[in-house]
Each structure stands twice: as C-alpha cells, then as structure tokens.
Amino acid sequence: MTVRQEPDERARNAPRPPEAADRGTALAAAALLVFGTALFWTPLRHVDLDAINGYGLVSVLPVATFAGAAVIVLSFLLTLALPRPHRVLLVAQILVLIATLHGVAQALEPEARFPTAWQTAGFTEYIGRTHTVSWDLDARFSTPGFFAFVGFMLKAVGQNNISPLLKWAPPLTDLMYLVPYMLILRVLRATWRAKWFAAWLFIAANWVGQDYLSPQAFAYLLYLFFVAILVNWFRHHDETTQSAGRRRSPETAQRTGGMWRVYNWLFGPKDPGELPAPNATVRDRTILLCLLFLLILVGTAAHQLTPFLMTASCAGLVLVRRCSLRGLPFIAGVVYAAWVSFMTVGYWSSRKGELFGGLGNVFQNVQQSTGGRISQTSPQTADVQQLRIVIAVVVVGLAVLGLLRRRARGIDDRVALVLLLVPFSSFGLQNYGGEIALRIYFFMLPAACLLVAYLFFPAPFDAPPVRDPRVRMRLGWLRAGPRRHWPAVAAAAVFSLLLVAGFLTVRYGNEKYEQVRPSDVRAFDVMTQRTKGVIGVVWMSADNPDLVGGTPVMPWSYREFERFNYTPVIANRSDPADLSEIIQRLREQGPGGFFVTTRSHEDFQVLTAGLSTDFAPKMRAALAADPRIETVVSDRDAAVYRLRQPPAEPDPPVPRSSGLGLRSSPWTPAGLIYLPVLLGVLLARELRRLRLPPGGLWRLRPLTVLAIPLFLSVVAVIVERFVVIS
C-alpha cells in the first residue's frame, strides 16, 4: 500500500513553535470568545418579538448581536490558525456555537417553538395515558418507538411536564450529534484543522430545523452512531485502493496526454482517505455487531425513513470496500421490510395506491421539494426560501469541490463519498409532503461538512514547516513557514461568516409564525376543559388545505390527542365578516365545536397564502360582534369562539385506542416463524464471518445456503400479505 504517512521522527525533531506567542494567541482567542458571547447575548434582553416581520428573527436582532456572532466565528477561526490544537478552547467554542445558534430563539420565547414539535408532546401524552397507540389517529403512530422512549423516560424520572424538554431539545440534540460525529471524524486521514472545522460546520450548516424533539431527530442520532461504529470497527480488512503496481507498469507510466491524465486522476493510485482502522478483538467486534443489530431494531421502530438510510449507507460502504459486514445490509433490509409489512399494516393497507404513487415520481418530488415550496408567498418569505436553497446548493457544491481537491491530491475519500451520495437514494422513495429535499440535505450534512472542510484544509497530515531556503516562492512568507495556514483560514473565515449569517436568517426565517405563544397553548387547554367529548376544531385556511397539505399552525393536539377533529374553513377573501361558512361548520361539529385562531396562524396565512393583513382582525371583530357566537377566550395572540346554542347532535363518542392495527393473512403465522429464524441465521452468519480469517470466507457457505430459502419464504410472506390484506 502506498500510503503517505506522517513522518514521525521528523515531526518529533522539528523545532516547536515558540510557546509564548502560541499561548498569547490562544488567550486572545479565548478572550474574543467571551467578548463575542457577551456581545451576542447582552442586547437580547430588549428584543421585541412582536416586531418580527417576514424575514424572521433577524429583523429584530440588534446589530451588536450580529457583531457578537461574527466575533464568535472569528475567535474559532483564530484558534484554527494556531500551530497546534487547543482542545479545551475548541470544545468551548463549539459549545458556545451550539448555544448561540440553536438556543437563541429558545431563550427569547417563553414556550417551545415550532408547532410540529408539540405533536410529539401529544403522542407522548397519549401513550402515557392510554398505555398503547392508535394507528388510525395519525400515521406517526405506526412507528411509535420514539414516543414510547420519551414517555417512558419522563414517567421513569417522575417528570410530568414535557415543556422544558420540548423547549431545549434542539441544542441538546445537536450536542449529542457531535458525539458519534467525533468518532467518524477520528478515522479520517486529515489534519486537526479539517476535523475541527468539520465539527464546527456540522453545527453551523444544520439550519434545517429537524433537531426538535421528534422521531427523525432521534433516528438521525442512531444513524450517526450506526455509521460511527461501522467505520471505526468494521472496516474492510484489506483496505488498499488501486495499488500502484498493477496499473503503473513502466509502459503505462509513460502514457501522457489529456485522456490519460483524466484516467489517472480517476483510477490512478490513491491513498485511502481513512486511517487504518483501530484494532479490535473478535470479542469486542461480536458485541459491537450485536449493538449494531439493536440499533437497527430500535431505529426501525422509531422512524420510517431512517432505517432505509442505515441500510443504504451500510450497503454503500460494503460496495466501496469500506465495510466488512457484507451481510449487514441484508439484515437491516429484512428488518425494515418486515416492520413495514407486519407493524404498519394499518397505514399501508388503506392507501396502497398513494404510497406507491410517490414511488419513482422523482421529477415531481424534485419540483415539490424545491420550487413547489415557493408559491403565493410574500416576497419576504420567498426570499428566505430562496436563501435556503442557495445555502444548500453552496454547501453541497463546495463539498463536491472539496472531494475533487482531495482527489487531485491523490486521496480517495470513499467513506465521505458514500455518505454524501447515499441520501439521494431516498428521493424516489416517498413523497413525504415535499419535505424530502430538506431531509436529504440533513442526511448529507455529516459528509458535506467534512468535504467542505477538506476544500479549505485538504492535507492528509500536518507537514512540518520546513522549506528549502534556496527555492524562491512568490509570497513565500505566506505559503511556507509557520504562517502557511493563514490563507486557508482566512478563506474559511469568509465562508464561515457568510454561513453563520445565513444560518441566523434561514433557521429562524419563519419565526413570525413558527413561534408558539403561551396563549396558543392556553386556547387548547380551555377547549379540553370546556367539553367532555370530542372537540371539533374549526380553523381558517386561506387556500384549500387538501391541495396545499396544510394543518393549523398551532400547538394542535398537544394533549388529549384522540379528542380533536380538525375541519378547515376556506377564507372568503372578499369579505372577512362573512361568518356563514364558519357557523355552518361549527353546527356540524355538534356540542364540541370551537373556532380557533391564533396570531401565528394568521401570520402564516398572510405570509404564505397571500391573505390580506387586515383579514384576521376584521374576522375576529365580526366573530366577537355576532350574537350567535360566544367568545370563549380572546386576547391578542389567540382566540377561541363557539356557538351560543350549539346543537346537541352529532355527539360522536371519543375514539377508543385501536393499538397498532395488526392484521393477519393465511401465511402470516409461517412468516412469524421464518422471520426470527432468518434474522438469527443472518446474524450468526455475520458473527461467523468475524471469526474467519481473511481467506476463509468460503466457510460461510452452509449458512448462506440455509439463509436463501428462509429469505425467499419471508419475501413470499411479505408479498402475500401485501396482496391479501387490503
């Protein structure tokens, strides 16, 4: 293997940089960090959240806060410019960055932000109260693993109030992502600058907002753990990339010309982009393999998309010969398919067509996920959306450039390449309400941040600062010697400043309607207290929600999940005082009918559907003045109305919990026997593989022969279930 190694002896003998200057700069960076933090947080006390406009939180943040963010960024980059890593300082800077970027809205707002996060509270409360799930209430009950986990933890520690967890989950989750990410970075052949910059970027580029208390955030954490364990302890034993000997015979070495240069660049001898794998004993790897299997099981029960990406990333690593567990993708795939077939029957049996309608509709997905999200919106919100796309494209583009730069240096980053490409495989999988592009960006981030860091710091190791004094270089004082990192750090600083500015804009770009105010929560409390039975919530929508896929932008169903029904009323744009539709819908709800409107919800309709700004005040005034309608609660932020004399009918019973909705078919009992046996055989096969020496893989054949008929049987049962159950 022709791997360029760090020259140990020379590094040891190299004259160490003067410690005093080093320490002085480090202290300056620490002081800058403290100063920047103070500058960021101190002026936030006087922020007026009501003044937010369509650009989101940035429209009210004081200038000093932006300056503080810039100082925090520069302090980190100054630390990167030092000749050696100061770990404590770097860790402190990353912690401050998490608190700064992912905690600023949480610190400003009294309640947990983002209405969708509140449904996690609703599901958790439902499980804690009924001790089961109900597949027909919501599709997310088909993968209830995460809700069960949160409900169990809360109950076990005696915490009855989920709101603190709900509120502070984003910074906590981002912090936890870094733990496995650190392990992934550890095995890469890169300088400390590239690794720390990648970890820093992983926080700063994660504007997608999928880190709230939700199944996908948890499953993403499991995915990172899964990948970290794979690339650390299950790498291929024979990790040579194209060796020089085979392809570089004397005659091929003389081949020159454009095409051969491209050929050599693509297929010529390269160093692997990963360090030699840490050596682990067979026993440790056995235990780690069992842990991987557990992670697959838990992840499959927690989220519907992530196990697919676990399978795909493992398969990708196997294909590029960076993972020795060739059977693990099969195990993950079987677990995933079995879960979908056996446990989510209620979900797919009723919508077979819809589910496969999204399959393969790649072009439609692209359009819906990117362009489709910008329609009819106010110019300010559209600007924020455009900026989101720009940031995503720039990050991915720079990542590709970073990959090419490393390749030009003769380094073959296969792990990063696989992790970058694997998320695209989920594009054709499911429509996902047009959100799949965000998810793909989210899953690309670990690799993308790494490759962007490589673009600035591509060296495989820190070369000692020696140069031949006889050779004259232009700008030699910057390109060699102790300051040779400065140009790269300066370029990285420009990129980081832009990225953090972009982050603050787009992450909280919808804050005008994504914040949840205390009155919103109280509105739903009041409704549950006023009635005993089913609550029919009527809400106003500017467009037909069946077409735009809308839900009320409120903390809807954050508790007593099963009691709520939602009926939209399409706003009469020409006459806000026209209440006939609302009253009609309220009558249809029977005694539990309420009309709810909140300021966030109204702002959402104004910003994304082009409703006029005076529509909601006029509508509220008309509702308050109408003799047929009683105002239950009303303040500036939220209002609840109901009929003065609601009809007694219809009064439907509160739906009882229906469990997971499991269903059987003639072959199902056989499948329930084959499946564990198959998983046992496949797992035994992988465990056996760990115990075989590199040349002895033929000894797996008996287990393979055993697994094939079992696998075919399980596939047959899954197909039979899909055909029979409808």
Partner 1 sequence: MSLALALLLFAAPAAAWWLLLPGLDPLGRLVAALAGAFAVLAGTAQVMLMADAWTPLHGVLAVLLLSAVLAALSRVHRPPGRPPRPDGPAAAEPAPPHAPATTRQDLPLPRRDKEEDEDWLFKD
Q: Does 152 bind partner 1 (CB under 8 A)?
A: yes
Minimum distance from residue 497 beta carbon to partner 1 (Å): 31
The 644-673 contact track toward partner 1, x by CB under 8 A, reads ---------------xx-------------
Span interacting with partner 1, options 97-105, 148-156, 624-632, 643-651, rule CB under 8 A: 148-156
The 105-134 contact track toward partner 1, x by CB under 8 A, reads ----------------------x---xxx-
Kindly tell me which residue out of 14, 28, 153, 498 binds partner 1, with binding defined by CB under 8 A: 153
Minimum distance from residue 284 beta carbon to partner 1 (Å): 4
Minimum distance from residue 187 beta carbon to partner 1 (Å): 10
Minimum distance from residue 689 beta carbon to partner 1 (Å): 9
Q: Does 228 bind partner 1 (CB under 8 A)?
A: yes
495-522 exposure pattern, b = at least 16 Cβ within 10 A, e = fewer: bbeebbbbbbbbbbbbbbbbbbbebbbe
Using the minimum distance from each CB to partner 1, give the nearer residue, 199 or 302.
302
Q: Does 146 bind partner 1 (CB under 8 A)?
A: yes
Q: Does 149 bind partner 1 (CB under 8 A)?
A: yes
CA atoms within 13 A on the CB side of 248: 13
d(CA 51, CA 58): 11
Kindly tell me which residue out of 19, 50, 284, 354 binds partner 1, with binding defined by CB under 8 A: 284
Span interacting with partner 1, options 63-71, 138-146, 505-513, 671-679, rule CB under 8 A: 138-146
Minimum distance from residue 237 beta carbon to partner 1 (Å): 6
Minimum distance from residue 182 beta carbon to partner 1 (Å): 7
Q: Is-contact 555 520, C-beta < 8 A?
A: yes
- Report which of 558, 549, 547, 552 is spatially closest to residue 605, judged by C-alpha positions: 552
Which strand (E) or helix (H) includes residue 411? Answer: strand 411-412
Q: Does 156 bind partner 1 (CB under 8 A)?
A: yes
Kindly tell me which residue out of 693, 705, 723, 726 binds partner 1, with binding defined by CB under 8 A: 693
Hey, which residues between 176 and 205 contact partner 1 (CB under 8 A)?
179-180, 182-183, 186
Q: Does 155 bind partner 1 (CB under 8 A)?
A: yes
DSSP state of 56: B
Q: Is-contact 445 205, C-beta < 8 A?
A: yes
d(CA 183, CA 613): 50
DSSP state of 560: S
Hey, which residues between 288 and 317 contact partner 1 (CB under 8 A)?
288, 291, 294-295, 297-298, 301-302
Kindly tell me which residue out of 222, 331, 683, 700 binds partner 1, with binding defined by CB under 8 A: 222
* Contacts of 326-330 spanning 24+ positions with Cβ under 8 A: 326/689, 327/682, 327/685, 327/686, 327/689, 328/230, 328/234, 328/292, 328/686, 330/682, 330/711
Q: Does 690 bind partner 1 (CB under 8 A)?
A: yes
Q: Does 144 bind partner 1 (CB under 8 A)?
A: yes
- Report which of 255, 202, 187 is spatially closest to residue 94, judged by C-alpha positions: 202
Using the minimum distance from each CB to partner 1, give the nearer residue, 225 or 457.
225
Minimum distance from residue 251 beta carbon to partner 1 (Å): 35
Q: Does 411 bind partner 1 (CB under 8 A)?
A: no
Q: Does 229 bind partner 1 (CB under 8 A)?
A: yes
Total residues contacting partner 1 by CB under 8 A comes to 58
- Report which of 404, 433, 335, 444 is spatially closest to residue 678, judged by C-alpha positions: 335
Q: Is-contact 167 105, C-beta < 8 A?
A: no
Q: Is-contact 304 142, C-beta < 8 A?
A: yes
Residue 89, both tokens: 């300082």
d(CA 591, CA 649): 7
Kindly tell me which residue out of 28, 282, 494, 570 binds partner 1, with binding defined by CB under 8 A: 282
Q: Does 11 bind partner 1 (CB under 8 A)?
A: no
Q: Does 469 bind partner 1 (CB under 8 A)?
A: no
Q: Does 279 bind partner 1 (CB under 8 A)?
A: yes
Residue carrying structure tokens 């390749």: 407
Q: Is-contact 413 454, C-beta < 8 A?
A: yes
Q: Specify which residues 631 forms β-bridges with.
A: 641
d(CA 674, CA 710): 6
Span interacting with partner 1, options 274-282, 357-365, 647-655, 707-715, rule CB under 8 A: 274-282
d(CA 97, CA 503): 12
The 323-352 contact track toward partner 1, x by CB under 8 A, reads --------------------x---------
Q: Does 389 bind partner 1 (CB under 8 A)?
A: no
Span interacting with partner 1, options 39-47, 217-225, 389-397, 618-626, rule CB under 8 A: 217-225
Using the minimum distance from each CB to partner 1, give the nearer residue, 146 or 348.
146
What torsion, rounded to 10 degrees, do the Cα atoms 305, 306, 311, 316 define? 100
d(CA 514, CA 115): 7
Kindly tell me which residue out of 27, 672, 692, 708 binds partner 1, with binding defined by CB under 8 A: 692
269-293 exposure pattern, b = at least 16 Cβ within 10 A, e = fewer: bbbbbbbebeeeeeeebeebbeebb
Hey, which residues between 234 and 263 contact partner 1 (CB under 8 A)?
237
Q: Does 169 bind partner 1 (CB under 8 A)?
A: no
d(CA 230, CA 224): 10
Minimum distance from residue 433 beta carbon to partner 1 (Å): 25
Q: Is-contact 440 362, C-beta < 8 A?
A: no
Q: Does 91 bind partner 1 (CB under 8 A)?
A: no
Three-state DSSP class for residue 658 = coil
For binding to partner 1 (CB under 8 A), which residues are involved? Answer: 127, 131-133, 144-146, 148-149, 151-153, 155-159, 179-180, 182-183, 186, 218, 221-222, 225, 228-229, 232-233, 237, 278-285, 287-288, 291, 294-295, 297-298, 301-302, 343, 659-660, 690-696
